[in-house]
Amino acid sequence: MNKLKTVYTCQNCGAESPKWIGRCPSCDQWNTYVEEIVASTSKSASPPLTSAGSPPLRLSEIADLHLDRLDTGIAEFNRVLGGGLVPGSLVLIGGEPGIGKSTLVLQLALSLKGKKILYASGEESLQQIKLRANRLKMESKGSWFLAETSLEMVMHTVEQEKPDILVVDSIQTMATDKIESSPGSVAQVRECTAVLLRHAKKYHMTVILIGHINKEGNLAGPKVLEHIVDTVIQFEGDNRHYFRVLRSTKNRFGSTAELGIFEMRQNGLVEVPNPSDHLLSGDGDPVSGTAIAATIEGVRPFLLEIQSLVSSAAYGMPQRSSTGFDLRRLNMLLAVLEKRAGFKLTSRDVFLNVAGGLRITDPATDLAVLVAILSSSLDLAVDHHTCFTGEAGLTGEVRAVSRIEQRIAEAARLGFRRMFIPRYNKGFDTSAYPLEIIRVARVEEVFRKLFGNK
């Protein structure tokens, strides 16, 4: 009879301890240790990948890896994967509930041609999947569906059907009999993933895992999982907005700089190949408080609108609130405005919003943020044909940005007439672009050129 062994496992990082502890010594989280029963045979449940005794090889003796990537039929998804799915690899897609993970993989399952796909759902019944497929108005003969939470049953089906792609929705609902812990616990998730990994390599099958995200925005529990899989993809966006962004945070077969942009519509996710076209509110009279930033997220340049509202603080402490832009950076920019450009905003509320519900991390957005705030504060509008790119330094200098030419080219493509860029971005021919380029060294210079000496 197997002797039962219990360990305490940190549900955040997977660290183990023989006794309960309040604070995890490896990830510093509190109250994350949960007792888990592990059958003493579980060690043998994960045999090594190579058989014992394989000799080491010289580089020249190792056969080249030919990546026959599978076209997913969704261009934005291919882009994030680095060109398509790699056979035998494990891809983890993480995201908050309701963001559209199941929709994305179902669309993938239904749009892949000539490949056999097994979609194992532990979250939804077959009827619910059918309902979603009807909503997507898609049909496919190459995909098979299974509502199952037992990993052994899923593996049994895999052995019989030998699919090219296995989708597991979600890894937190799967459980193996080998371990007594409840589904979703670190031990279960880790063991299930290890079994899936072995099958992926054995059958040369791509496995797509769906993982939930906890309230801190991490993949729930299994940090350990991120080490096992080949590719980690985050699906993010604001539930109330229609934009969804797919970005990879780890990719053994491609770069992590790529970004895929989708729009959630009534009948599923629609790719957005030219995000700028959707992110600019366009014509109409210019209103104060908006400025257009020429940003680059991933490797794609796009222009988007930054909106700001500055108003008198009604009660005591003024509020600073920001959606889609780092709040600490906003505070830093407000301090720069005050100290370097002499604008007093200490007794005023400042709200900032990035259009489309996108989250922007490109520091070159700073200049547009500063202009939007000032535009709202002075109640003076900036015309629609002007855009900005530049990082603001603490002394009020406008610092050089990366890939300036790509940004200018995108602004030119969209018909902008005027663009403020950092003076220190040198070494290219501005006359090659059909728009007026204004080089600036300091933020005050931008303000003077836009608003005069108000």
Which does residue 339 touch among Mg ion, ligand TYD, none (CB within 5 to 8 A, set by kind)?
none
List, in sequence order, every beta strand (DSSP E) within 257-299.
Answer: 259-265, 268-271, 290-297
DSSP assignment letter at 111 = H
Query: What's the per-residue H, E or C state across 21-38?
Result: CCECCCCCCECCEEEEEE
Nearest approach, Cβ of 103 to ligand TYD (angstroms)? 3
When the beta carbons of 189 and 330 are compared against ligand TYD, the nearer one is 189
Nearest approach, Cβ of 210 to ligand TYD (angstroms)? 7
When the beta carbons of 128 and 361 are compared against ligand TYD, the nearer one is 128
User: Is the distance from CB of 165 to CB of 206 less than 8 angstroms?
Assistant: yes
DSSP assignment letter at 115 = -
**Stretch touching Mg ion by CB under 5 A, among 84-92, 101-109, 231-239, 391-399:** 101-109
Q: Which two tokens stand for residue 440?
A: 């600036």
Rule CB under 6 A: say whether 254 interacts with ligand TYD. Answer: no
**Stretch touching ligand TYD by CB under 6 A, among 19-27, 262-270, 355-363, 422-430:** 262-270
3-state secondary structure of 344: coil
When the beta carbons of 89 and 102 are compared against Mg ion, the nearer one is 102
Which does residue 132 touch among Mg ion, ligand TYD, none (CB within 5 to 8 A, set by kind)?
ligand TYD
Rule CB under 5 A: say whether 121 interacts with Mg ion. Answer: no
Nearest approach, Cβ of 208 to ligand TYD (angstroms)? 13
What is the length of the chain? 454
**Stretch touching ligand TYD by CB under 6 A, among 34-42, 131-139, 297-305, 443-451:** 131-139
Which does residue 264 touch among ligand TYD, Mg ion, none (CB within 5 to 8 A, set by kind)?
ligand TYD
**Of 266, 312, 431, 453, which one interacts with ligand TYD (CB under 6 A)?**
266
Measured CA to CA, the distance from residue 384 to residue 285 in angstroms comes to 8
When the beta carbons of 36 and 236 are compared against Mg ion, the nearer one is 236
Measured CA to CA, the distance from residue 283 to residue 292 in angstroms comes to 13
Cis (ω within 30 of 0) for the bond into 170? yes
Which does residue 395 touch among Mg ion, ligand TYD, none (CB within 5 to 8 A, set by kind)?
none
**Of 132, 278, 385, 413, which one interacts with ligand TYD (CB under 6 A)?**
132
3-state secondary structure of 253: coil
**Stretch touching ligand TYD by CB under 6 A, among 97-105, 140-148, 255-263, 387-395:** 97-105
Measured CA to CA, the distance from residue 451 to residue 104 in angstroms comes to 46
DSSP assignment letter at 453 = T
Nearest residue to Mg ion, by Cβ distance, number only: 102
DSSP assignment letter at 319 = P
Nearest approach, Cβ of 190 to ligand TYD (angstroms)? 22
Rule CB under 5 A: say whether 173 interacts with Mg ion. Answer: no
**Of 84, 88, 100, 254, which one interacts with ligand TYD (CB under 6 A)?**
100
Residue 266's contacts (CB-CB under 8 Å, 6 or more residues apart) are: 135
When the beta carbons of 136 and 287 are compared against ligand TYD, the nearer one is 136
Rule CB under 5 A: say whether 102 interacts with Mg ion. Answer: yes
Residue 221 backbone dihedrals phi, psi, to 5 degrees? 65, -80
Residue 25 backbone dihedrals phi, psi, to 5 degrees? -70, -20
Q: How many chain residues interact with ligand TYD (CB under 6 A)?
A: 15
Nearest approach, Cβ of 93 to ligand TYD (angstroms)? 9
Q: Which of 105, 369, 353 is nearest to 238 (CA)?
A: 353
C-alpha torsion sign, points 287, 289, 291, 297: negative
Rule CB under 6 A: say whether 135 interacts with ligand TYD. Answer: yes
**Residue 391 CB-half CA count within 13 A:** 16
User: Is the distance from CB of 164 to CB of 117 less than 8 angstroms?
Assistant: yes
**Stretch touching Mg ion by CB under 5 A, among 100-108, 235-243, 258-266, 306-314:** 100-108
Residue 147 CA: distances (Å) to CA of 104, 126, 154, 322, 339: 18, 6, 9, 41, 61
**Stretch touching ligand TYD by CB under 6 A, among 98-106, 300-308, 331-339, 445-453:** 98-106
Site for Mg ion, rule CB under 5 A = 102
Site for ligand TYD, rule CB under 6 A = 95, 97-103, 132, 135-136, 264, 266-268
